[in-house]
Amino acid sequence: MRIIDICENFSALGCLKQYYENNNIKDYMIFALEMHLSIGDIKNNHLEFLKKLHQKYCDYNYTYNYNEVLKEILNNITNDTVIRIWSSMKNDDDYMLLLFLCNFLKDTINTINVVFSSDYNELQYSINFLDYKKVNDVLKYEKTLSKYEIKAYAKEWNNLIEINSELRVLENGEVKNRKYSDYYDILLNILKGIAPCKIGNLIGECMGKEILNDASDLVYLTLIDQLIDLNRIKIIKQGTRHFIDTIDLVN
């Protein structure tokens, strides 16, 4: 049996790699699929959406191509391969990746296992910041998905594609399709208490209050820029990059 681990980002990959290497496990295979599936268009060209997002907010040429990673995963699947997906019921991107992979792999592989970090600890939203020494403890919650469960997750993904909302958010264990505007007033109220401030400070406040579970900074930055475009927030001082622009409410 050969296990292929798949996680949502490179922080999680680093945690798993450190776990394997410190336990002298040599024959491991881990892939990070940093797809940010909780935000943006998932029906048409999601990769192009991510490229534009990174170019706008991070000001660099986004070269990561998750399609190449998916090809590599397929190329390494054999008859005895087990896919192990690291997911969570508390992290939107982690959960969306589980749905996506069940749909992507449902006709390709016999065994898909899942590990929900939130089963180990409800405050462990992801394994992104997990101490590698705790991986064994989290692995106790690994389960093999039945064919019915795989099909159900795949169906859930296809339903999300058809709706193709701006945001996909886990609320009480269910995916809710949301609009950016659903969170405008929440962000504005938070900004009201700390303005003027740098964009990064507002994002940190939003993350601390878990407005969108364990959402990435790109999600919050998208919401902030929507409010700037709507003339609800203004930039009063530009920084060396967008994250450190100083912002305030528009009176």
Taken in order of first residue, the domains within the chain and their CATH numbers are: 2-163 (3.40.1360.10), 180-249 (1.10.10.10)
- Residues 81-93 have a mean pLDDT of 95
Measured from the Cβ of residue 215, the count of other Cβ atoms closer than 10 Å reads 25
Q: Is residue 150 a contact partner of residue 102, using CB atoms and an 8 Å limit?
A: yes
Considering only 58-62, 151-155, 190-194, which range has the smallest mean pLDDT? 58-62
At residue 60, the pLDDT reads 64
At residue 148, the pLDDT reads 97
State whether the Cα torsion 127-216-7-91 is positive or negative: positive
Considering only 117-131, 195-209, 220-234, which range has the smallest mean pLDDT? 117-131
| pLDDT of 59 above 70 | no
Residue 246 is given by DSSP the state E
At residue 7, the pLDDT reads 97
What residue has token string 């998208």? Answer: 222
- Residues 95-118 have a mean pLDDT of 96
Q: For residues 139 and 214, which has the higher predicted lDDT (pLDDT)?
A: 139
| pLDDT of 197 above 70 | yes
Considering only 121-125, 150-154, 171-175, 200-204, which range has the smallest mean pLDDT? 121-125
Residue 34 CA to residue 47 CA, distance in Å, equals: 10
What residue has token string 């902030």? Answer: 224
At residue 92, the pLDDT reads 94
At residue 89, the pLDDT reads 92
pTM of the model: 0.93
At residue 194, the pLDDT reads 97
| pLDDT of 57 above 80 | no
Q: Where are the beta strands (DSSP E) in the chain?
A: 2-7, 29-32, 81-87, 111-116, 143-144, 167-171, 174-178, 197-198, 233-237, 246-249
162-196 confidence digits (pLDDT tens): 999 999 999 988 999 999 999 999 999 999 999 99
| pLDDT of 56 above 80 | no
Per-residue pLDDT band at 64 (split at 50, 70, 90): confident
Mean pLDDT of the chain: 93
Q: Is residue 139 a contact partner of residue 20, using CB atoms and an 8 Å limit?
A: no
At residue 150, the pLDDT reads 98
- Residues 118-133 have a mean pLDDT of 85
